[in-house]
Amino acid sequence: MSRCLPVLLLLALACLARLGSAQPVNGQAELKEMQDALVQLQAERRVYLNVSSLQLFAAMSDRLDVAERELRRVRETPKVAFAASLGGNGAVKTTSGNKDLIYRDVLTNVGGAYNSETGVFTAPVRGVYYIRFTTNAPTDFPMSAVLYKNNAEIQLITHEQQSGEGSDTASNGAALLLEKGDRLKMVLWQNTQIWDNSNHHSTFSGFLLFPM
């Protein structure tokens, strides 16, 4: 079709030029031939425009499908972010074994993956999460806070030895690849302490960077 259209267009232009010139048309047969060529050209033009419209429509539909898939992916990706502090008004200390820390003062819990009754964050999807915690305590006794995964694997630690009067503050954080259902919790090691009040000095927080 693309090769026929220019030929017909040239023929039609020649016909129009012939009709508009002073030269007479040689008989009804020649006139009929010109008229047929014009009719065919008009038909070819309609088909060409229809095909072009269909191609344009198909291209637009493809782009729309891509945009809709991306929007659906974004909407279906879980929104996960939490932050909590120990709260209270004083030190938590253990001298007879490790102690799970429960951060009850919840600041943010988008997605509900953090449990303020147990102090455990459970990854709702496989992905990379950024996890961070801060630790504060007086320096008259060792300080610690240790991030555990699935009750066994140590991930991150803050620890300060006794150093006299005053207070210590420490923090740690990292991007962690977690499987769906992995559980994170903070632990206070034996013979250490941690301190907090309503100003949220000792915190546990994290958010989903992207699913995998």
Query: Using one digit for the tens of pLDDT, what is the confidence trace for 56-69?
Result: 667 767 776 777 77
φ/ψ (deg, to 5) at 124: -80, -20
Residues 88 and 71 in one domain: no
Residues 132 and 41 in one domain: no
Residues 174 and 123 in one domain: yes
Least confident of 27-41, 72-86, 138-152, 169-183: 27-41
* Residue where a domain stops, chosen among 15, 48, 76: 76
pTM above 0.95, yes or no: no
* Residue where a domain stops, chosen among 22, 53, 76: 76
Tally of CB atoms within 10 A around 22: 4
Residues 51 and 116 in one domain: no
Predicted confidence (pLDDT) at residue 122 exceeds the cutoff of 70 = yes
Only one residue has tokens 């003062």, namely 105
* Residue where a domain stops, chosen among 76, 93, 111: 76
Residues 24 and 97 in one domain: no
Residues 43 and 101 in one domain: no
Cross-strand partners of 186: 101, 147
Q: Looking at per-residue confidence, does 210 or 70 come out higher? A: 210
Q: Looking at per-residue confidence, does 27 or 78 come out higher? A: 78
Least confident of 9-18, 84-93, 129-138, 193-202: 9-18
Residues 63 and 117 in one domain: no
Cross-strand partners of 177: 128
Cross-strand partners of 137: 168
pLDDT of residue 36: 73
Least confident of 40-49, 69-78, 169-178: 40-49
Amino acid occupying residue 1? M
How much is the average pLDDT of 22-27?
52
The structure tokens listed for 69 are 């898939």
Residues 68 and 87 in one domain: no
Q: Would the CA dihedral through 43, 44, 45, 49 be positive or negative? A: positive
Q: What is the pLDDT of residues 90-118, one digit of tens each?
A: 899 999 999 999 999 999 999 999 999 99
How much is the average pLDDT of 120-138?
97
| Confidence tier at 12 by pLDDT (50, 70, 90) | low
Helix (H) or strand (E) holding 209: strand 203-211
Query: What does the alpha-carbon distance between residue 120 and residue 152 come to, in Å, rounded to a whole number?
Result: 13
Which range of residues forms the domain containing residue 146?
A: 81-211
Predicted confidence (pLDDT) at residue 10 exceeds the cutoff of 70 = no
Residues 191 and 98 in one domain: yes
Query: 189 near 144, Cβ under 8 Å?
Result: yes
pLDDT of residue 114: 98
Query: What does the alpha-carbon distance between residue 48 and residue 142 come to, in Å, rounded to a whole number?
Result: 83
| Confidence tier at 78 by pLDDT (50, 70, 90) | confident
Residues 45 and 87 in one domain: no
Query: 186 near 94, Cβ under 8 Å?
Result: no
| Confidence tier at 205 by pLDDT (50, 70, 90) | very high
Residues 138 and 56 in one domain: no
CATH of the domain at 145: 2.60.120.40
Helix (H) or strand (E) holding 136: strand 127-138
Residues 94 and 187 in one domain: yes
The structural domain count of the chain equals: 2
